Every structure is written in C-alpha cells, then in structure tokens.
Amino acid sequence: MIAEHQSEPAGDGGSLIQIEHLVKTYQLGEFEVHALRGVSVRVSKGEFVAIMGASGSGKSTFMNILGCLDKPTKGSYVLEGIDVGKLSRDELAAIRNKKIGFVFQGFNLLSRTTAFENVELPLFYGPASNKERKAKAIEAIERVGLGERIHHYPNQLSGGQQQRVAIARALVNDPSIILADEPTGNLDSRTSVEVMGIFQELNNNGITVILVTHEPDIADFAKRHIVFRDGKIRTDRTNTSPKVASEAIKEMPLIGADEEEAA
Amino acid sequence: MKIFNILLSAFRALQRNKMRSFLTMLGIIIGVGAVIAMLAIGQGAEYSVKEQIAALGTNVLMVFPGAQQQAGVRTAAGSATTLTEDDALAIARECPAVQYISPGAFAGGQVIAGNLNWSTAIQGVGSDYLEIRQWPIEYGDFFTDQDVKAAAKVCILGKTVADNLFPESSPVEQTIRIRNVPFKVVGVLTRKGQNAMGQDQDDIIIAPYTTVIRRLSHWPNLRFVLISATSLRDMPVAQKQITDLLRMRHKIQAFDADDFTIRNQTDLAATATATTDILTILLASIASVSLLVGGIGIMNIMLVSVTERTREIGIRMSIGARSRDILTQFLIEALVLSLLGGIVGIILGIAGSSIISSIAKWPTIVTAFSIILSFGFSIAIGIFFGFYPARKAAMLNPIDALRYE
Ligand SMILES: Nc1ncnc2c1ncn2[C@@H]1O[C@H](COP(=O)(O)OP(=O)(O)OP(=O)(O)O)[C@@H](O)[C@H]1O
Ligand SMILES: [Mg+2]
C-alpha cells in the first residue's frame, strides 16, 4: 500500500520544487539550534505531500523557507526554475504573492476585517483591477463554500470557517503551490476532513499542495508522506491509495464526531 | 501597488480601528487646539496693551506725585502730596516744549438723573484734556477754561453713563446729581470701548478738576498731570524741562531723588510689556505642556498598537506586500490622522479662542505662527510614531513579524 517514493527522473523541468542540502540554524545567544540539518527533496507539479514528524523536528522551519517567509542558513531552493536564494526582498514578496498560498495553523486573518476583505488582500499587491479583484475574491470564497458568510468578520466565524477564509485567501491569486502548516491543528475531526476535502479538490485541479500534520488520519488524504526527524528527512514514501475526503465525510456522524469516531 | 489601493488600504485600516484612530487624533487635536488658544490669549493681551497705550494719545507725558520705585512701578497714587495745582500751572507757563496740560483729580460715587442712578468714576481734568487724549465729543460741548477757573458744576458723560442715565432723551442741558451735588451736562463723548483690562472706558464722567477737588474729593492736591509735548521729538526735552522745573519748585537737593514721577509712553509700554511678557511665558509653558501631553498621547497609542500592527504587517508580507507597500500605507495612515486631527485642532483652537474672548472679555489673536508651530509639531510626532514602528516591522523577515509578540 505504501511504497518508497521515487524522485522523478523525468526531466528536471518537471520539478516544481528542488531543494538541496537545506540547513537552518538559529542563534540563541551562546546556543545554536539546528532546526534543519541538510534537507534535500524534490516536489513535482500536482503532488499532494503530507509532512509529518515529532514536535521540534523542523517541519515549520522547512515550510517557512518553502513559503519564502524565511531564509535558509545554507543550501539551495529552486522554485519553478528560479533560485530563490538569489532573490531580493521585493522579488521574494512577488513570489509569495503570485506563486505561493500559505495557510497557517492559527489562520492569521486580519481581525475586524470581513472575510471578503481578507480574501481580496493578496490582489491589492498585484496588478489586478478593481473589478477583477472583486470577482476573483468572490470566486475564491465560493470555492471554499463560504458564499453566505462573505461579509462576516473572523470573530463571527467558526474555526473551520476561518480556515476556509484563509484557504480562499491562499488560492485567490491562482498560486502554483499551497503550503499549509497544520491547517487542521485547531479543528475537530469532521471539520478537518472537510478542509482536507477542499485541499483534495484544489489538488485535483492541478495545484500542488504541501501540508504539515501530526495526525496520520489527515496524512492519509495525501499522495506522498515525508517524515522529519531532528531536522532531516527520515522517510519519504508514496501513498498509493490515498483516502478520498468526500467519501470519508459520508461515513462520519454529524454530532459528537470526535468521541464516536474514536469508539 | 497602485496608489488608489494604498489609499484604500489605509482608510480601511483607520476605519477598522476607530478607537485607536480617534485617540491618536485626540492627542493631536488637544495639542494643536490648546497651543492655538493659549498663544491667541497671549498675543491678544500684548496687542490690547499696545492699543491702550496708543489710545492715550501721542506725545503724552504723565506726571504723578511720589518717587519712582526701583522696579519701575510708581507708588500708589496720592501716597505723596507733592503735586499741586500751582506746579501744573507753572509747567504750562514755563516749559516751552509742553503743548497742552491738564491737571487731574479723581472721585467716585453715585450719580442720579431723574429716577435713574448709576455708579461711576468721576475724573477731574483741565480744558485741554480731550486734546491730549484725542478723544472727540459726540455732541454738545466740552467745558471751557472759564468753567475750570470758576469751578463750574458742569460735566460731560461717557457713552455708557449717558446710555444708562438717559436711555430715551439727550442728556445735554440736563442736570444730574453727583454725590448730591447738581451738575449740568454739557456734552457726551464718543465711544472708546474697552481697554486691555476689559474695563469700559466709556463708564466715566469728566468734570473740571477744580470742581472735583472742591465739591467731590476734598483732596487739595493733584493725582496726576497729563501733558502733551509739542512733538514726538520734543518728548525728552519736555521731560527734562518739567523735571528741572519741579525739582526747583520742590527744592530738591542735587543728589536727592525726585519726589514725583514722569512717565512717557515708552515707560508705560515697557512696564506693560514686562507684564504681558510674564503672561506670554506662562501661557507658552501651559501650551507647551499640552503640546507635550498631546505628543505623548499620540506616541503611546501608536506604540501600544505596535504588537497588533506588527502581526498585521507580517500577514500582509506573507501574502505578497513589499516593504515599501507597507511603509506607504502606514505613512498615509499617519498623515491622514495627523492632518485630520490638526485641522480639527485648528478649528477648535480658533473657536476656543473666540469663546474665551467673549466670556472673559479678553481679546485673542490667532496668528499663523501658532498654527504652524502646533500643527507642525503634532504632525511630526504623529507621523514619526505612526511610521517609525511600521518601518521597523517592515524590515523584519515576514516570519519574524508574524511571530512578534
Ligand atoms: N525563531 C526561532 N528561534 C530559535 N529557535 C527556533 C526558532 N524557530 C524554531 N526554533 C527551533 O527549531 C526547531 C524546529 O522548530 P519547528 O518549529 O520547525 O518544529 P516543528 O517540527 O514545526 O514542531 P511542531 O510540530 O511543534 O510545530 C525547534 O527546536 C525550535 O525550538
Ligand atoms: Mg510547527
């Protein structure tokens, strides 16, 4: 059912992400914290990767570098043929804006700002016209099934709904990759599966998805599993038979999902 | 990012945080408003003091009885008995640089006309008084030298007294009783308005000094002598002539001090300016305190919101904002707040000044300087403390800004 992952030999052009010997060391006064100790990995277009590993193994550090939110201490990161390490701050900002959609565990929505305004935010930093911006924002919100909550504020939305807003914001600019760091970490299991359903649907439409999770149940929805340990990749396998969220949800009871599922 | 988008982002951010925006603006409003109002009061005082001195007439010298004190303040009027009618007449006779002269006396009391009464000050002067003060008669006549010599019971009324005692009819040729002495009204003065201290200069009755001394005050000596020199250039000459004459008449030895005081407009101006200077310093300190408090208010609210805003900046950067997009947005936010606050502050300061004017009967002058000073200072603080934390945050790695606590 789970086989060793083969790095695609089919031409380097096929690799969306190409990472070699990535090292990240934090300096804490006298101490050095080695968050990443040489990570090499390739991810092709259209993959759905789940990253797992113990707490402190470097998953978030890795994701932040993938998302161009942070810079590695050493190593190279090539995204769609662009050597990210050589880019200026502004060029990195442009990459975050156009190519990457980031979904955080804590949602990171602007407070006192409606769902709609949160979702259109990335388009403010691009060339989109007023009309385009509105149309795209509405489309993205409808895509995550929140059409009715469009003018609600984050504090008027449930955790699952807030995470959907965050996903809508991540995909509003048609990114090549969606990066999600424990997107279901704050959600109950039913809502988690719903959110995974959205990721699967986006993935089926060609968007590469990389997500971090602690729960094997969630990782089962991904096509590839990478496990981190002590700042290195421990295992990297293909999941030959990923679960389908839209089917899994049907088997889940509506109320008290957590307890009954565990039973 | 397009400028329209930046503006929109800035306005949305301000609207989102109404309380914070309001508090920031409040700091600026208070700072600007208070400084404008305070300086307006100070400027008004200075202006009206100058005005009042000018209103005394040009080339005017005043001689008071009593020695001059160290600090330049004369002793209370009447504390010395050294200035007599004869002194005044001698000055008129013997000082060629003197053009007009009017001896002066005071009395106060109840004035009755028919069934109306009014309490006012009665000033006893000579027939040249109005020449010196350059104060025209509105109707009727001034009393003559003849009236002065005869100590005639005639008087002229200030506008306020005339309005109160004779609301319906003309007071000229009517009789009024001052402390039960009947006086015939011969004229009414033109309106002069308030002086710097808010006193009504038209609340006065003017009568021959001889009459005031004999009939009302029963004080034989003069309270002052009002003199005008032949020209502005002759003021020092006139002053010298009067000093020499009075010293001789009062038999003052060479090294003894004068037993009288001569004041000219420059002296009066100096004394008055010294007073208004103290006032101005006082007001300026209050104003700078309020400016400082306003500034600290702006500073506080801006710094307090930094945590929230640093995370906001992190979020914006994580979805593609460049440092300069963030900076422009924050700069515009700070500018909008400062400008709005500044404008409201100016309006409030001007309104406050005119309210103070009308309630305290104190003239106020709003100057461009006070507007520019307070506006500039508040805006500089608003922009600096609005912009500087944002600049710091915008230079962080997005992930550090997101994690900021
Ligand atoms: N800003 C930082 N400064 C110093 N050390 C850091 C910093 N961020 C992370 N670390 C350290 O780097 C290591 C890897 O952290 P990271 O957040 O990547 O772990 P993780 O795998 O995401 O853990 P979790 O599952 O708990 O989220 C940890 O030891 C952590 O303490
Ligand atoms: Mg983590």
pTM: 0.71
User: Who's near A129: CB < 8 A, 6+ residues apart?
Assistant: none
The Å distance, Cα A59 to ligand 2 centre, comes to 6
C-alpha R_g of chain A: 18
User: Nearest C-alpha to atom 5 of ligand 1 is from which residue?
Assistant: A26
Residues of chain B with Cβ-Cβ distance to A111 below 8 Å are 308
Q: Does A97 contact B323 at a Cβ distance shorter than 8 Å?
A: no
Contact B190, B136 (CB under 8 A): yes
Count structural domains, chain A: 1
Alpha carbons B335 and A247: distance in angstroms, whole number: 54
Asked if B12 lies within 8 A of A113 by C-beta distance, the reply is: yes
pLDDT at residue number B158: 93
The ipTM is 0.90
Residue A172 lies in a domain: yes
B309 touches chain A (CB under 8 A): no
Q: How many CB atoms lie within 10 A of CB A31?
A: 7
- Contact residues, chain B, for A173 at CB < 8 Å: 320
Q: What is the pLDDT along chain B (405 residues), one digit of tens a residue?
A: 577 888 888 888 888 888 888 888 888 888 888 888 888 888 888 887 777 666 666 688 889 888 765 444 444 444 456 788 899 999 999 999 999 999 999 888 889 988 888 999 999 999 999 888 888 899 898 999 999 999 999 999 999 999 999 998 899 999 999 988 999 999 999 998 876 566 788 999 999 999 999 999 888 889 899 998 888 778 888 989 999 999 989 888 888 888 888 887 767 667 777 777 788 788 888 878 877 887 787 778 777 777 778 999 999 999 999 999 998 888 888 888 888 888 999 999 999 999 988 888 778 888 888 889 888 887 888 788 888 888 888 888 899 999 887
Name the residue facing B318 among A102, A111, A117 (closest C-beta). Answer: A102
Residue A245, CA distances (Å) to A100, A203, B32 in order: 23, 12, 62
8 A C-beta contact, residue B40 and residue B241: no
The answer to whether residue A32 is domain-embedded is no
Identify the residue whose tokens are 């709904």: A161
Q: Which residue has the tokens 């040009």?
A: B58
The 3-state DSSP composition of chain A as helix, strand, coil percent (nearest 5) reads 40, 30, 35
- Residue pairs between chains A and B whose CB atoms are closer than 8 Å: 71
Q: Which tens digit of pLDDT belongs to each residue from A118-157?
A: 999 999 998 889 899 999 999 999 999 999 999 999 999 9
Q: What is the pLDDT of residues A78-110, one digit of tens each?
A: 999 999 999 999 999 999 999 999 999 999 999
Separation between Cα atoms, residue B385 and residue B309, nearest integer Å: 13
- DSSP 8-state secondary structure symbol assigned to residue B217: I
Closest atom of ligand 1 to CA, residue B399: 1
- DSSP strand E in A47-176: where? 48-53, 74-79, 82-83, 100-103
Ligand 1 atom at minimum distance from A27 CA:
4
pLDDT at B75 (0 to 100): 46
Domain with A245, as residue range(s), is: 45-70+88-262
Tokens of B161: 């007294």
With CB atoms and an 8 Å threshold, state whether A97 touches B319: yes
In a domain, A34, yes or no: no
Gap from CA of B388 to ligand 1 centroid (Å) = 30
Going by pLDDT thresholds of 50, 70 and 90, the confidence category of residue A256 is low
Q: Return the amino acid letter for B49.
A: V
Distance A35 CA to ligand 1 centre (A): 6
Question: Residue B35 and residue B29: Cα distance in Å, rounded?
Answer: 10
Give the C-alpha separation, A194 to A172, whole Å.
Answer: 19
User: Ligand nearest B405 Cα, by number?
Assistant: 1
Closest approach of A112 to chain B, Cα-based (Å): 6
> For residue A9, is pLDDT > 50?
no
The answer as to whether A106 is a domain residue is yes
Residue A235's Cβ-count burial label (10 Å; 0-12, 13-18, 19+) is: middle
Picking from A90, A112, A121, the nearest residue to B319 by CB comes out as A121
State the maximum Cα–Cα separation within chain A, in Å, rounded to a whole number: 54
- Nearest residue (by CA) to ligand 1, atom 11, is A35
In a domain, A16, yes or no: no
List residues, by chain if needed, whose CB lies under 5 Å from ion ligand 2: A 60
Record the tokens describing residue B5, joined without a space: 């988008």
Burial of B136 (0-12, 13-18, 19+ CB in 10 A): exposed
Q: Which pLDDT does position A109 carry in this prediction? A: 95
Share of chain B residues as helix, strand and coil, in percent rounded to the nearest 5:
55, 20, 25
C-alpha span between B269 and B358 (Å, rounded)? 26
In a domain, A5, yes or no: no
Contacts of B318 in chain A (CB under 8 A): 67, 69, 96, 102, 108
SS3 B75: coil
CA distance B329 to B349: 29
Q: Pick from A210, A163, A118: which is nearest to B315 by CA? A: A118
**Which of B183, B195, B180, B222 lies closest to B47, judged by CA?**
B195
The answer to whether the Cβ–Cβ distance between B319 and A109 falls below 8 Å is no
Q: What is the pLDDT of residue B197?
A: 62
Q: Can you give the three-state secondary structure of A39-84, one letter per residue?
A: EEEEEECCCEEEEEECCCCCHHHHHHHHCCCCCCCEEEEEECCEEH
Residue A254 counted as domain residue: yes
| Residues in contact with B243: Cβ distance below 8 Å, sequence separation at least 6, in sequence order | B258, B262
- Beta strands, E only, A175-260: 177-181, 208-212, 224-229, 232-239
Where does the pLDDT of residue A36 fall: very low under 50, low under 70, confident under 90, or very high at 90 and above?
A: very high
Beta strands B224-229; B60-65: pairing state: antiparallel
Any idea what the CATH number is for the domain that residue A107 is in? 3.40.50.300
